């Protein structure tokens, strides 16, 4: 890692990051993903931003954690672009919003509803948060080759984790067919699109979305085994996918 001109928060410098990157919220998950890489080494650990580099099937890959919520995550995504990222895939967890999107399911995001309150400060809400087509295709192809079933469709990126006193739009979006709710994908897709980075996401469902079952009904332990396997599966899919996406 460079000794000078470190980018804010993530504490890596321009040129430190290879073109292909996996991101996730949890620093410990980033560390776990790095253990799948050949010759993995840690570049930086600052706040929620833990950065590792190594190789997957001989191709350079970085793994970076971004914490929970779009405000901090957008810092990571912008910094990764400045540091050299050209393809970014998020691996994370979410709440299911459809009857068949249950704990242990995987969802490949094709787009995201921008309800996170951050990207609207960058560009008007009429600008869509859309996953790169080549990234979506690579994720779906990798899932098929590994015989792992996935859902695909629009996800909802919410500003809040716990519901507040105001009525949320989750039930409305569920009625519209949105697959899952999470907290960072919209910022990844918008920041990446603005900078010409190819981005997408595959996320594991850990329980139904809060607003559909109530906070007391959000039981992550009910399908813990399935969820743990889904997280391992999404990592395998994302690693194979990120090295297949063309850089040009």
Q: Which residues are catalytic?
A: 206
Does residue 14 sit in helix, strand or coil?
coil
Residue of 166, 32, 180, 218 lying closest to 100 (CA atoms): 180
Beta carbons of 104 and 231 less than 8 angstroms apart: no
Does residue 114 sit in helix, strand or coil?
strand
Beta carbons of 31 and 40 less than 8 angstroms apart: no
Residue of 160, 158, 162, 175 lying closest to 214 (CA atoms): 162
Chain centroid offset of residue 207 CA:
17
């Amino acid at each position: 890692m460079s000794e000078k001109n470190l980018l804010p928060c993530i504490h890596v410098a321009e040129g430190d990051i290879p073109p292909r990157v996996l991101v996730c919220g949890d620093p410990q998950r980033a560390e776990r993903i790095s253990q799948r890489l050949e010759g993995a080494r840690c570049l930086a650990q600052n706040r929620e931003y833990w950065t590792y580099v190594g190789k997957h099937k001989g191709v350079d890959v970085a793994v970076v954690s971004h914490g929970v919520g779009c405000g901090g995550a957008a810092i990571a995504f912008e910094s990764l672009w400045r540091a050299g990222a050209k393809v970014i895939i998020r691996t994370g967890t979410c709440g299911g919003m459809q009857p068949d999107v249950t704990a242990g399911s995987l969802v490949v995001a094709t787009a995201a509803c921008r309800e996170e309150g951050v990207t609207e400060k960058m560009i008007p809400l009429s600008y869509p948060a859309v996953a790169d087509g080549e990234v979506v295709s690579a994720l779906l192809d990798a899932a098929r080759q590994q015989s792992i079933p996935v859902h695909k469709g629009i996800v909802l990126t919410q500003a809040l984790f716990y519901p507040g006193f105001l009525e949320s739009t989750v039930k409305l979006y569920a009625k519209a067919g949105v697959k899952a709710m999470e907290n960072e994908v919209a910022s990844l897709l918008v920041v990446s699109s603005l900078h010409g980075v190819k981005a997408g996401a595959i996320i594991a469902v850990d329980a139904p979305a809060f607003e559909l079952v109530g906070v007391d009904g959000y039981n992550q332990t009910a399908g813990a085994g399935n969820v743990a396997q889904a997280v391992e599966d999404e990592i395998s899919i994302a690693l194979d996918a990120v090295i297949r996406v063309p850089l040009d």
